[in-house]
């Protein structure tokens, strides 16, 4: 679900994840959410790293504008075991690339959140742009 709160310069994306497999004897499946930040993001600075299930980054664009991305994970942290990383131009698997033209590629930032979903998880992502 995507929400755009009235009067606020942000977008809120709610992902609700469940592992509905009846087989509890095997290792639970891991789910990955990826945010490809794109070619205009020059710098990614982590400002909060998992305290109370919240990760936050300050992004700086090529034009010097600042955008904040925040991911909050709710659920049983022991079961979820969230792992968050920022990659740029990764080869295996091929992630975080932008191609301005044929045969040219440039590494661009991508935020990757991987977690288990047995028992259910709620991930809220907020993208805050500069105010008017």
User: Domain residue spans in the chain?
Assistant: 2-128
% residues pLDDT > 90 (the chain) = 38
**pLDDT at residue 116, as a whole number:** 84
**Rounded to whole angstroms, what are the CA distances from 101 to 19, 63, 75, 106?**
40, 22, 42, 10
pLDDT at 110 over 60: yes
pLDDT band at 25 (very low <50, low <70, confident <90, very high): low
DSSP type of residue 118: T
pLDDT tens, position by position, 50-103:
888 999 999 999 999 999 999 999 887 777 888 999 999 888 888 888 888 898
Euclidean distance between CA atoms 89 and 105, whole angstroms: 9
Euclidean distance between CA atoms 18 and 67, whole angstroms: 30
């Amino acid at each position: 679900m995507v929400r755009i709160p009235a009067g606020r310069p942000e977008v809120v994306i709610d992902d609700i994840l469940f592992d509905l497999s009846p087989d509890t004897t095997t290792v639970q499946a891991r789910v990955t959410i990826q945010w490809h930040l794109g070619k205009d993001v020059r710098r990614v600075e982590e400002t909060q790293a998992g305290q109370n299930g919240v990760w936050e980054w300050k992004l700086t664009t090529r034009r010097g504008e600042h955008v904040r991305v925040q991911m909050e994970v709710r659920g049983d942290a022991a079961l979820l075991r969230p792992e968050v990383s920022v990659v740029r131009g990764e080869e295996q698997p091929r992630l975080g690339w932008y191609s301005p033209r044929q045969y040219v590629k440039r590494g661009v930032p991508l935020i990757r959140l991987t977690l288990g979903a047995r028992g259910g998880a709620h991930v809220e992502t907020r993208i805050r742009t500069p105010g008017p």
